[in-house]
Amino acid sequence: MKNFVKFGRFVVLAAFVGGLAACSGPDTPGGIYDPFEAENRVIHEGNKNLDRNLVKPVSNTYGSALPEPVRFGVSNFASNLSLPSTIMNDLLQFKLADALHNTGRFLLNSTVGLAGVLDPATDAGLEPRPSDFGETLHVWGFKEGAYLELAIVGPSTTRDAIGKAVDIVFDPMVLVVPAPERYALPVVSAASRLGDRFRFSDTVDSILYDSADSYSQARLLYLENRRFQLGQDDPTAADDELYDLYEESYE
């Protein structure tokens, strides 16, 4: 198993080096660069079918079976587990104030917050300050590249797809937590995503099933939200809750 993990990290590193060359495209801020639209649409339809036949029914069962406080506890726990990766990216971006802020949040929620099930850090003024390796690449000067729809994962870009892979394989929690406990991490994350799908069900359904072209709608929302997060664009035409929901549900 250890050799398999090491091999996986090597593959990601190789993909990372090769993939950086693909983080290019027309320099048109606010525009859409989608050279793989035909392939993306096929994957989008597959993701919709997966949502319709599996994710949505399971999320409805999950949401109906568990009280809201329990669902929020699972979400808080998953969010807390992601903080070491966030802190690592803060440091890679030389955002030392954010790294210190998120370290304080992690320590407080991991102790007083009962391993992150509760969120006393927010009440103490240590609100969430998310980051990821896709943002790190942005700070380092890499373009977002082509728009991609990834199987199961959903909307992304070349840059963010590389970032997601690096975040998963080099997550400090994955490197530190021993087996078999480490295998619980993706389970908790998946449960949190099911809770998000249930919580924002009406809005997700409106994007995927009520719009005339769900692919174009999903693409526009993802790109505008992501650029807003990175300080590139100001999606003033959309409701803030919609952007928050889309990011939570499909990242």
Residue ranges of domains in the chain: 35-250
If you average pLDDT over residues 214-235, what whole number do you get? 89
Percent of the chain with pLDDT over 70: 81
Checking if the pLDDT of 4 tops 50, the result is no
- pTM of the full structure: 0.84
Residue 29, pLDDT score? 63
Predicted confidence (pLDDT) per residue in 101-123, tens digit: 999 999 999 999 999 999 999 99
Q: What is the DSSP string of the chain?
A: -HHHHHHHHHHHHHHHHHHHTT------TT----TTHHHHHHHHHHHHHHIIIIIHHHHHHHHHHS-HHHHHHHHHHHHHHTHHHHHHHHHHTT-HHHHHHHHHHHHHHHHTTTTTTS-HHHHTT-------HHHHHHHTT----SEEEETTTEEEEHHHHHHHHHHHHT-HHHHHSPTTGGGHHHHHHHHHHHHHHHHTHHHHHIIIIISS-HHHHHHHHHHHHHHHHTTS---TTS-HHHHHHHHHHH-
The CA distance from 235 to 247, in Å, is: 14
The CA distance from 172 to 125, in Å, is: 25
Predicted confidence (pLDDT) per residue in 122-148, tens digit: 999 999 999 999 999 999 999 999 999
Long-range contact pairs involving 228-232 (C-beta distance under 8 Å, separation at least 24): 229/135, 230/135, 230/138, 232/29
Predicted confidence (pLDDT) per residue in 49-83, tens digit: 999 999 999 999 999 999 999 999 999 999 999 99
Residue 14, pLDDT score? 46
Look up residue 49 and give its amino acid.
Answer: N
Residue 7, pLDDT score? 46
The CA distance from 20 to 15, in Å, is: 8
* Per-residue burial over 29-55, b = 16 or more CB atoms within 10 Å of its CB, e = otherwise: eeeebbeebeebbebbeebbeebeeeb
Confidence of residue 162 (pLDDT cuts 50, 70, 90): very high
The CA distance from 203 to 197, in Å, is: 9
Checking if the pLDDT of 243 tops 70, the result is no
Checking if the pLDDT of 33 tops 80, the result is yes
Percent of the chain with pLDDT over 90: 75
- Cβ atoms of 75 and 196 closer than 8 Å: yes
Checking if the pLDDT of 16 tops 60, the result is no
If you average pLDDT over residues 174-190, what whole number do you get? 88
Checking if the pLDDT of 18 tops 70, the result is no
Residue 184, pLDDT score? 85
Checking if the pLDDT of 170 tops 50, the result is yes
Checking if the pLDDT of 95 tops 80, the result is yes
Checking if the pLDDT of 97 tops 70, the result is yes
